Structure 1
Amino acid sequence: MILKHLNRPLRKLSTVLHKPLYRTLSKSTLSLNLSVTSRMSVCLQDHILPNDAPIIELECEESFNALTDQEKLYTHYLSKACWNGSLISFVQCSPESPVIFILIHKIYLAEPIAELKKKCLDQLSDEEFTAFLVYSTGFLGSTGNYKDFSDSKIIPNLSQEKFHHIVKMSEAYHKEKELINALWTLCGDDIYSLTVNNANLGFPEKGVTTYLSSNCTENDMSVVNEFLKANNIEAYNCRTFKYVHQVTLVSSRTTVTLVDYVQSGKVLSPWSIKKCRRSFPTWCPTLSRS
C-alpha cells in the first residue's frame, strides 16, 4: 500500500507523508556505507526514515464526485499540471535528486511492487525491502532527498549493496541496462554520502544548494538580494550563477533530453556532481538551452 501509485506514469501521488515520519528512529544495527568527515558527528536517527512511518492517504473521492463534469475536468488537468510542474523541485533540491527520481520512477514504472519484491527476497529481508519502499516514499513526498521541513538529508535504512541489488533485480534494469547503470553511477554514492557539506541544505561550504553556484559568497548574495528587492523580484524564483571571464557558445539546438545526456556521457556536464556541488541547468525531464 505504501507505494501503490508509483508504478504508473508521471502523476501526483495520492499519499502524503505525515510529520511523525521523521520522529526518532529506534536502534538500528545496519552497517551503512556512509562517507562521514571527522569534523562531524552524524546522528543516523536524524537522516533515516523508520519502517513503521505512517502513510496517510488523501481521501478525496467523495469531494470529487460532488463536482460538476467541468469542475472535474479542471481539477484533473490542474492536478496533472501541478505534478509535472513539481518536477523542478527535484532540480532545486540537490544535484543528485533528479537522477534519483528518474532511477526510482523507472524501477516502479516497469513492474508491480509485488513482483520486484519476490525477485529481491533471495538476498534481502522483508524489513530491508520495506526500507527501500519507505525511502522511495520519503524521497517522492519531499520531492528530493532532503526533508521538506527540516532540510536534513534522507538516507536509506538499508545498505548501499542491498539497495543496488534491488536496482539490478528490477525489470527496468533488464530493459535499459546501460541507462540504469549510468544513473546508478551518478547517484549511488551520493544517496549514501553524509558529510559536513551535504548533511543539510544550506549556503555553499555549509550545506547543499542548487540556487547558487559554488563560488558564490555571502557578500555576493547580499548584493543580489539588494538588486532583487529594488526591482521587486521574488528570490524564490531565481537562481544565481557567478561567472568570471567565461565565454559561452550558443547552441542551435533548443532542447536536450535526459537520455541524450546519459548516453553521451555528459550528464550534468560541465557541472560535476562528484567534484563539487554546483548549480546546473534545468533538465528534468528536458533541458532548455539558449
Structure 2
Amino acid sequence: MVNEAMDEGTRKQYLADDPPTVVPLTIAPHFNALNDKEKKYAHYISRAAFSGTRINLRQVSAESEAIYDFIITLHKSCNGDWKKLASQAKLSDEDLKHFLSYAAQFIGNTGNYRSFGDSKGKS
C-alpha cells in the first residue's frame, strides 16, 4: 500500500502513469521490405519472444503471471468490449480508465513493475 503521508512526487513513482504511454508500431512497411528468409526469421523470433512471456512474468514477481492471466481472461470474456464489461460489472468510466491504464502498462512492461525505477505500478 502506498503511504498516504508520502509527498506527491514520491507517491507518483509508485502509481501507474495516467494516461499511459502507448506507442503504435508501424511494422508493415519494414516487414514487407524483408526477403522471404528474413520474414521467416522475424516470424519465428517474434514467436519465441512471445512464448517466453510467462518466463519473464515469473521473473518479475510471484503475482505477475496471475495478473497477466486475469487481464487476458477479462479481454477474452468481453471480446475487447471493455465498456460493455464495465457496464455489466457496474464500474464507472473512471474505474475502467484506471484499469485500462494499469493493464496497458502491465502488458507493456510484461509485469507489475514500472519499466524504470523498479517500482511496482499500482492503480
Both structures adopt the same fold (TM-score exceeding 0.5): yes
2:2·2:11 contact (CA, 8 Å) conserved in 1? no
What displacement does 1:77 show?
1.2
Q: 1:226 matched to which residue of 2?
A: none
Q: Structure 2: any 5+ residue segments left out of the alignment?
A: none
Q: 1:117 matched to which residue of 2?
A: 83
What displacement does 1:148 show?
2.2
Size of the aligned set, in residue pairs, is: 120
User: Superposition pairs for residues 1-290 of structure 1, below 5 Å?
Assistant: 34=1, 41=6, 43-114=10-81, 116-121=82-87, 123-156=90-123
What displacement does 1:145 show?
0.6
Partner Cα separation in structure 2 for residue 58 and residue 143 of structure 1? 17
What do the CA deviations read for 1:57-112 (whole angstroms, capped 9, x no partner)? Answer: 12111010111222212111110101112321111111111111122122213332
Partner Cα separation in structure 2 for residue 129 and residue 75 of structure 1? 35
**Structure with more of its chain in helix, by fraction:** 2
Q: Structure 1: any 5+ residue segments left out of the alignment?
A: 1-33, 157-290
Partner Cα separation in structure 1 for residue 94 and residue 53 of structure 2? 30
What do the CA deviations read for 1:94-138 (whole angstroms, capped 9, x no partner)? Answer: 111111112212221333222x42232362222221211111111
TM-score, normalised by the number of residues in structure 1: 0.38
1:51·1:127 contact (CA, 8 Å) conserved in 2? no
1:50·1:131 contact (CA, 8 Å) conserved in 2? no
Partner Cα separation in structure 2 for residue 84 and residue 109 of structure 1? 19
Give the fraction of aligned pairs with identical amino acids, expressed as a percent.
33
1:47·1:154 contact (CA, 8 Å) conserved in 2? yes
TM-score, normalised by the number of residues in structure 2: 0.82
Partner Cα separation in structure 2 for residue 120 and residue 109 of structure 1? 14
Greater relative contact order (Cα 8 A, min sep 6): structure 1 or 2? 2
C-alpha distance 96-146 of structure 1, shift in aligned 2 (>3 A): same
Counterpart code for 2:74? I
Give the number of the structure whose alpha-carbon radius of gyration is greater. 1
Q: RMSD value over aligned CA atoms?
A: 2.3
2:64·2:111 contact (CA, 8 Å) conserved in 1? yes
2:64·2:112 contact (CA, 8 Å) conserved in 1? yes
